[in-house]
Chains A and B, each alone.
Chain A
Amino acid sequence: MNVIAWALAGACVLAGVGVLAAVAAPARVRSGLVGAATVGIGVAGLVAGLAASGGRSWQARLPDLLPLAGVQVVVDPLGGWFVAVTGGVLAVAALYGVGYARDAHATHEHGANDREAHGHGPGGRGVLAALPVFAAALLLVPAAGSVSTLLVLWELMAVTSLVLVLAEHRARPAVAEAGWWYAALTQLGFVAILLGLVFYAAHAGGDSFAELRAADPPAWVAGVVFVFVFVGFGSKAGLVPLHVWLPRAHAEAPSPISAMLSAAMVNLGVYGVIRVGFDLLGGGARWWWLLVLAVGAVSALYGILQAAVAADLKRLLAYSTVENMGLVFLGLGAAGIFRASGAPTLAALALAAALLHVLNHAGFKALLFTAAGSVLRATGSRDLDALGGLRARMPVTTALFAVGALGAAALPLGNGFVSEWLLLQSLVHALPAGGVVTAVAMPLAVAVVALTAGLAVATFVKALGVGFFARPRSDAAAAATESPPLMLAAMGILAVACGGLALAPAALAPVLSRAVGTAVHTPADPVRGGVTLHLAGIASTMSPLLTAVAVVAAVAATAVAVRLIARRVARRRAVALWDCGAGPPTARMQYTATSFAEPLQRVFDDVLAPQIDVDVTPHAESAYLVTNVAYHARVPDRVEHTLYTPVIDVVRRLGRLGPVLANGSVHRYLAYGFFGVTGLLLILAVTR
């Protein structure tokens, strides 16, 4: 047994300990113990993942653990990458969760029910017991080595995450609704994966990934398998049109859970498509990847557009997850197209960009969700239109949120920029490869990535500028206080990780090469370099560290120069805001998140289809005298509206048929039995 085996076994043991603690421990220490166990699981995952990424591998067969097929575990560099990302996110989010729950305990001394009612972390036994199981399942999915193992772990992850999402269902009815949506779509996805993989395994004549890899299914079988698997994994990654659960579930779950879902669980959708599409099916046809590219592009654009007009902070972050997963799938699609077009170097680069973006997204999204959780804890509100002024009241949280926002906006000095740069490089240099298809698809893909990046800037400027800066727009925001040190420490770890990824991405180059090499079955070395990033086959270079040093030096030089030039100038003079001579502007005169996004909403009116109602109530005596004007603007999820409403209506109508068939009359039921048996006998008589 090597270090990977020890670490994974340790994670499983810790999960058991966590469940025991959740069930048996007294309420005062329960959430702390479970949180500590989950931190341990995360650290174990990080260790196992790093060891696997470092080139070690481990596999085991445990035939007695699962009836019929047994359990197979294989950890290779590709799986290791995802295990490490998941472990890191789990450890930090669980650490944050300990602070989150403890603080709730300190402020509300009324026990678990009150805690739940105030939306402060999962406090109940069932929810706490689900947390370590969820963490362990999440960690082990990329380590599964056979179809049955993957499916069992996948379902375990789905069910436990559903319990976690529903943690606060007593407090808000929206949680239950989110739970319904999540349960329906996650099961739909599971069925799709099940059908695809079982069909594949039946053709391959074996269950383990090694046997699947060795099988060479006919093109149509491979195509069917891929489409099913893509639908299933795509629903977990929140790709449009299967994304509808994501903005609900991620927004309504307790914030540490939101971070785990949005930064770790969605990644497994990416893992699944890479594992099956590239590793097991060996690349496949070009149309598969054109489909992936198109779906990724649509998801990226649609997600960021919804995020740009969202006024709910956590909903905004959830839609941004849809966007980032869209970008990752866009990269996967590009990689597949390049591979099918005979450009393996570019394919490796695009795949590396996608993998790196998974990591970067995990870093900044976990940071943003935990910071949003701190805001929610301090103000009780996620509505950006009611926030503001937190810069002075929660200075550290604001600075940490700013670090995450810089990464999410994909601006230089942020970590998102590095992976988007890699993605753009692979797209921009695609013209010599692949003829007319790439010549048409790639410029459009670049335009999509660019528009996405631009809108992401607008989205996160809104989140930071409206949510944290300026003056408080409500009493709750004005009374906010800074989070306790444990929560700040957890967020600080994430911010440092984001900074490291932004400044020294080249440190990950060997790990990335190994993961990509495992996926495409050929040694690849897409990214090299130390301070400066060099790419295989492309002359472009970039140096994040040098850029950062240049900007910081220029800012420092400017500050010093201003001091020297303006030496005789007195200190800053406190003045009133410019009010056009009409008295000091009130907090209500500020731009809100909704008004900030209004121009974008107008520009993309046809895509977003906002619903705006203006109700004018005239005076009883005269239609010209107005007593009241009500203005309601809402941007509903259009996909949900047009695609799912008809389906739900049909299902509901079918459900109404049930009472007609079964109206309680015993005679009718006896008749059903009689005709059923007679019919069966008739069929048997005819067919035999």
Chain B
Amino acid sequence: MTASALIATAVQVVVVAAGGPLLLGVMRQVRARLEGRVGAGVTQPWRDLRKLLRRQPAAPTGTGWAFRMAPLLLMGTSLAVAAVVPLLSTASSLGTAADLFAVVGLLALGTVALVLAALDTGTAFGGMGASREITILALVEPTILVAVFALSARVGSTNLAAIVTATLRDPLRVASPASLLAAAALAIVVVAETGRLPVDNPGTHLELTMIHEAMVLEYAGTDLALVEWATSMRLTVLLGLLASLFAPWGIAGTGLVALPLALLAFVVKVTILGTGLGAAEVFLAKLRLFRVPELLAGSLVLALLAVASSFFLA
């Protein structure tokens, strides 16, 4: 664990924490402009967070430690994932823990904390959101792990830094059928995991359609700020992960010199992905909850095809 690795990790965490709300702002702004509205500006999510951080958190009747701990755990896992995933540099100080399965598991752990908190409130809304979120979580899992299989089979390791380094060394891999299919599968998964359209509508407050919003309904003040902040960080990390896996150019190696360039590349890549996602959401309607499994089954087929092609076309 060298000093430069430590600095790279710290920069990565700070960039994700600061950039998450900004990414959300960019996506909302893109959407507003495409819908013919002026929009609230890119920094609006940050202004919301500042406001929420000054407000008192609530302790609704009958809730306990599960409810109190969930925002902290959600934020904690998001920070840990931001530190582990190679977004700016492949030389993370937590490199040995940067296993794709572990990262997927940590993200799931954060979701589970929030789901348990929703159940702890004992309201119909909380249970509804929890039940729906956990269903999607369970169905997303196969696609993620099979896509990981496709990506790691040719590298011989599920370590993220190893996968990214191997792609950097042999850029043509990105254009292989296995890689393209896995990218498509993972893109669907990222949409489902982050609760964007067409799986969940982040802007809704209509009970029939809520998933994530129903779970966090009882939160207020600093708690809500943490949840919103962590959610935006998860979106950033997942988009950044997608970029690192399928377009790793610009990521710094062990040195610190390339770090500013890597930062620029990261910002550009994630902004492009976020803009694309925001623009796509304008043209999409939310799927019925029971159509979502069909979408996820489709993504699983893509992932299985990716593995098959990585074996038969290799």
With A543-B96, A550-B84 already in contact, the answer to whether A446 and B141 are too (CB < 8 A) is no
* A661-686 vs B, Cβ < 8 Å mask (1 yes, 0 no): 00000000000000000000000000
* B26-59 vs A, Cβ < 8 Å mask (1 yes, 0 no): 0000000000000000000000000001111111
Q: Which of B194-202, B238-246, B257-265, B302-310 contacts A (4 or more CB under 8 A)?
A: B302-310
Complex CA–CA separation, A487 to B136 (angstroms): 37
- For the side of the interface on B, what is the size category? 35 or more
Query: Contact: A443 with B217, CB < 8 Å?
Result: no
B14: min CB distance to chain A, Å: 12
Query: Contact: A557 with B156, CB < 8 Å?
Result: no
- Chain B residue contacts of A466, Cβ below 8 A: 119
**A479 part of interface (Cβ distance < 8 Å):** no
Query: Contact: A540 with B99, CB < 8 Å?
Result: yes
Main secondary structure of the interface of B (DSSP, over half): helix
- Chain A residue contacts of B94, Cβ below 8 A: 546, 550
Instruction: Tell me which of A447, A469, A558, A585 contacts B66 (CB under 8 A).
Output: A469
Q: For residue B66, which residue of chain A has the nearest CB?
A: A469
Instruction: Tell me which of A552, A566, A579 contacts B222 (CB under 8 A).
Output: A566
**A412 part of interface (Cβ distance < 8 Å):** yes
Query: Contact: B79 with A558, CB < 8 Å?
Result: yes
Complex CA–CA separation, A540 to B59 (angstroms): 43
* A552-590 vs B, Cβ < 8 Å mask (1 yes, 0 no): 101101110010011011111111111100001101011
**A431 part of interface (Cβ distance < 8 Å):** yes
- Chain B residue contacts of A566, Cβ below 8 A: 53-54, 221-222
Query: Contact: A554 with B79, CB < 8 Å?
Result: yes
Query: Contact: A454 with B140, CB < 8 Å?
Result: yes
Complex CA–CA separation, A148 to B135 (angstroms): 49
Complex CA–CA separation, A542 to B122 (angstroms): 37
Q: For residue B109, which residue of chain A has the nearest CB?
A: A411
Query: Contact: B300 with A447, CB < 8 Å?
Result: yes
B95: min CB distance to chain A, Å: 8
Query: Contact: B218 with A577, CB < 8 Å?
Result: yes
Instruction: Tell me which of B64, B105, B157, B218 contacts A538 (CB under 8 A).
Output: B157
**A30 part of interface (Cβ distance < 8 Å):** no
Instruction: Tell me which of B57, B72, B105, B119 contacts A411 (CB under 8 A).
Output: B105
Query: Contact: A538 with B156, CB < 8 Å?
Result: yes
Query: Contact: B131 with A595, CB < 8 Å?
Result: yes
Query: Contact: B96 with A412, CB < 8 Å?
Result: no
Query: Contact: B59 with A575, CB < 8 Å?
Result: yes
With A412-B109, A542-B96 already in contact, the answer to whether A550 and B56 are too (CB < 8 A) is no
B277: min CB distance to chain A, Å: 24
A495: min CB distance to chain B, Å: 17
A535: min CB distance to chain B, Å: 10
Complex CA–CA separation, A568 to B54 (angstroms): 8
**B283 part of interface (Cβ distance < 8 Å):** no
**A409 part of interface (Cβ distance < 8 Å):** yes
Q: Which of A126-134, A288-296, A456-464, A649-657 contacts B (4 or more CB under 8 A)?
A: A456-464
- Chain A residue contacts of B79, Cβ below 8 A: 554, 557-558
- Chain B residue contacts of A471, Cβ below 8 A: 62, 122
Query: Contact: A541 with B99, CB < 8 Å?
Result: yes
* A382-403 vs B, Cβ < 8 Å mask (1 yes, 0 no): 0000001101100000000000
**A54 part of interface (Cβ distance < 8 Å):** no
Q: For residue B148, which residue of chain A has the nearest CB?
A: A428
With A428-B149, A465-B130 already in contact, the answer to whether A590 and B123 are too (CB < 8 A) is yes
With A388-B122, A532-B96, A541-B99 already in contact, the answer to whether A555 and B311 are too (CB < 8 A) is no
**B11 part of interface (Cβ distance < 8 Å):** no
Query: Contact: A576 with B124, CB < 8 Å?
Result: no
* B256-300 vs A, Cβ < 8 Å mask (1 yes, 0 no): 000000000000000000000000000000000110010000001
Complex CA–CA separation, A547 to B76 (angstroms): 11
Query: Contact: A569 with B127, CB < 8 Å?
Result: no
**A451 part of interface (Cβ distance < 8 Å):** yes
Query: Contact: A554 with B77, CB < 8 Å?
Result: yes
Q: For residue B124, which residue of chain A has the nearest CB?
A: A589
- Chain B residue contacts of A391, Cβ below 8 A: 64-66, 120
**B91 part of interface (Cβ distance < 8 Å):** no
With A431-B153, A458-B137, A577-B218 already in contact, the answer to whether A539 and B57 are too (CB < 8 A) is no
**A455 part of interface (Cβ distance < 8 Å):** yes
**A603 part of interface (Cβ distance < 8 Å):** yes
Please provide the chain B residues from 155 to 185 with a CB less than 8 Å away from any CB of chain A in the complex. Answer: 155-159, 162
With A469-B119, A538-B157 already in contact, the answer to whether A551 and B77 are too (CB < 8 A) is yes
- Chain A residue contacts of B76, Cβ below 8 A: 551-552, 554-555, 557-558
Complex CA–CA separation, A443 to B159 (angstroms): 18
Query: Contact: A575 with B157, CB < 8 Å?
Result: no
Q: For residue A555, which residue of chain B has the nearest CB?
A: B76
B232: min CB distance to chain A, Å: 15
Query: Contact: B159 with A541, CB < 8 Å?
Result: yes
Q: For residue B132, which residue of chain A has the nearest CB?
A: A599
* A311-346 vs B, Cβ < 8 Å mask (1 yes, 0 no): 000000000000000000000000000000000000
Complex CA–CA separation, A547 to B116 (angstroms): 21
Query: Contact: A411 with B145, CB < 8 Å?
Result: no
- Chain B residue contacts of A569, Cβ below 8 A: 53-57, 221-222
With A547-B102, A591-B131 already in contact, the answer to whether A465 and B75 are too (CB < 8 A) is no
Query: Contact: A469 with B61, CB < 8 Å?
Result: no
- Chain B residue contacts of A444, Cβ below 8 A: 304
Q: For residue A605, which residue of chain B has the nearest CB?
A: B290
B92: min CB distance to chain A, Å: 11
A554: min CB distance to chain B, Å: 4
Instruction: Tell me which of A431, A454, A539 contacts B137 (CB under 8 A).
Output: A454
Most buried by A among B77, B106, B134: B134
**A15 part of interface (Cβ distance < 8 Å):** no
Query: Contact: A591 with B130, CB < 8 Å?
Result: yes
Complex CA–CA separation, A449 to B77 (angstroms): 23
Q: For residue A391, which residue of chain B has the nearest CB?
A: B64
Instruction: Tell me which of B120, B158, B218, B307 contacts A425 (CB under 8 A).
Output: B158
Query: Contact: B304 with A470, CB < 8 Å?
Result: no
With A411-B108, A461-B130 already in contact, the answer to whether A599 and B135 are too (CB < 8 A) is yes
**A424 part of interface (Cβ distance < 8 Å):** yes
Query: Contact: B310 with A431, CB < 8 Å?
Result: yes
Q: For residue B57, which residue of chain A has the nearest CB?
A: A572
Instruction: Tell me which of B55, B61, B116 contacts A574 (CB under 8 A).
Output: B61
Complex CA–CA separation, A455 to B310 (angstroms): 28
A491: min CB distance to chain B, Å: 19
A299: min CB distance to chain B, Å: 17
**A536 part of interface (Cβ distance < 8 Å):** no
- Chain B residue contacts of A532, Cβ below 8 A: 96-97
Complex CA–CA separation, A539 to B152 (angstroms): 10
Most buried by A among B80, B108, B300, B308: B80
- Chain A residue contacts of B75, Cβ below 8 A: 554-555, 558
B193: min CB distance to chain A, Å: 12
Instruction: Tell me which of B65, B108, B127, B143 contacts A590 (CB under 8 A).
Output: B127
**B19 part of interface (Cβ distance < 8 Å):** no
Complex CA–CA separation, A557 to B131 (angstroms): 30
Instruction: Tell me which of B84, B102, B156 contacts A429 (CB under 8 A).
Output: B156
Complex CA–CA separation, A565 to B222 (angstroms): 9
- Chain A residue contacts of B122, Cβ below 8 A: 388, 469-471, 577, 585, 587, 590
Q: Could you list 15 A-B pairs, sorted by A, with CB under 8 Å?
A: A308-B138, A424-B101, A447-B300, A450-B145, A450-B146, A457-B138, A465-B130, A539-B155, A539-B162, A565-B53, A573-B57, A577-B61, A590-B123, A590-B124, A596-B119
Residues of A within 8 A of B (CB): 308, 388-389, 391-392, 409-413, 417, 421, 424-425, 427-429, 431, 439, 442-444, 446-451, 453-455, 457-458, 461-462, 464-466, 469-471, 532, 538-543, 546-547, 550-552, 554-555, 557-559, 562, 565-566, 568-579, 584-585, 587, 589-591, 595-600, 602-603
Which 8 A-B pairs have CB atoms at the shortest separation, nearest pair first? Answer: A591-B127, A465-B119, A454-B141, A470-B122, A555-B76, A454-B138, A539-B157, A450-B145
Q: What would 9 more interface pairs be, CB under 8 Å, given A412-B102, A455-B138, A543-B97?
A: A411-B109, A443-B308, A458-B135, A462-B134, A470-B119, A532-B97, A558-B76, A569-B56, A575-B220
